[in-house]
Structure 1
Amino acid sequence: MAVCIAIIGKDNSPQYIATSDLDKELELQYRVHAALDVVEEKCAVGQTPSQDSRDLYIGLLYSTEYHKIYGYVTNSKIKFIIVVDSSNTALRENDVRTMFRNLHSLYTDAVCNPFYVPGEPLESINFDKLVRQIMTGTV
């Protein structure tokens, strides 16, 4: 389902990035970092009042010929970016929302670990395994 999942900290430093294709890892990381500008723009103070400020899901940030990039921002300003293949026509908006909710739950569990240092990259093997299950759609 997803070709890349990234978790970006408050200061826009990557805490976790997983890609499904190692040959395109650099290109996918570029797409994620380019999406951060769109996230900042959409989360800017004074944005349209019609958008519910409690909704963490930002939606489609931008799309390219090969990828669609979606965003999600937590209340603590942690950003989740999911890059999906644009040829995947079976993927609906609800599926992407579910992926973000599952990712947010996994992230919350990972940072609640008493041995995790806030702001450090997430290097848990179990967390990585579960995120890769979200990427393939087996969760």
Structure 2
Amino acid sequence: KSISNVTTMKNTHLGHSLTTVRPPYSILHGINCISNSGIRMAACIAIIGKENSAKYIKCASQRIALQFHYKIHTSIDIIEEKLNVGNKAATDSRELFLGLLYSTEEHKIFGYAPNTKVKFVVVLPSSNASFRDNDVRMMFRKLHLAYSNAVCNPFYLPGDEIISK
């Protein structure tokens, strides 16, 4: 393990330091899609819990964050609709990547729903036509991996909001 991957945390209840190993990236690395032309970024990402409550929402622009919150909460209904279509047997073999949920003039909203009933939403600018489905799938895979590492942390309490540094 490299030095940058080890973090010392102060436990206030016990009064001594605990050393934990964190992944070398944070949740925010899930929104970056690296290609040959450089780094392209999503406008907003969200992790929605089992009860359709937001566990993590991060927007590139905080001044229009409320607009993104609305788009994300609107996309939850579309995700639920897509997940409820079909029978129970098809659920086991279904694709995790839900594809384009809907688009507006400014943004395209994509969804991803693993079998854990947690939902991932990525909002991309519509003007950036260079994003292909494979690029978006890769973003969701990275985001899913980062989420899995975050909830597997022994200091994470299930159901709590996820905070990225």
Q: Deviations over 1:62-116 (max 9, x none)?
A: 0001100000011110000000000001111110000000000000000000010
Relative contact order: is structure 1 or structure 2 higher (C-alpha 8 Å, sep ≥ 6)? 1
Residue of structure 2 equivalent to 1:58: 98
Query: For the residues of structure 2 that align with 1:63 and 1:97, how far apart are their CA atoms?
Result: 17
TM-score of the two chains, using structure 2 as the length reference: 0.71
- Cα distance in 1 for partners of 2:128, 2:78 equals 23
CA distance in 2, matches of 1:35, 1:22: 20
Q: How does 1:63-102 map to 2 (within 5 A)?
A: 63-102=103-142
Instruction: Please state how far the C-alpha of 1:23 moved relative to its aligned partner.
Output: 1.1
Gaps of 5+ in 2: 1-40
More strand by share: 2
Q: Once the 2 structures are TM-superposed, how far is the Cα of residue 53 of structure 1 from its aligned partner?
A: 3.2
Query: Partner residue of 1:132?
Result: none
- Which of structure 1's runs of 4+ aligned residues deviate more than 6 A? 49-52
CA distance in 1 between partners of 2:151 and 2:92 (Å): 26
Higher helix share: 1
Give, in angstroms, the shift of residue 52 of structure 1. Answer: 7.8
User: C-alpha root-mean-square deviation of aligned residues, in Å?
Assistant: 1.7
Answering whether residue 154 of structure 2 is matched by residue 111 of structure 1, we say no
Task: Kindly tell me the number of residue pairs found equivalent between the two proteins.
Answer: 124
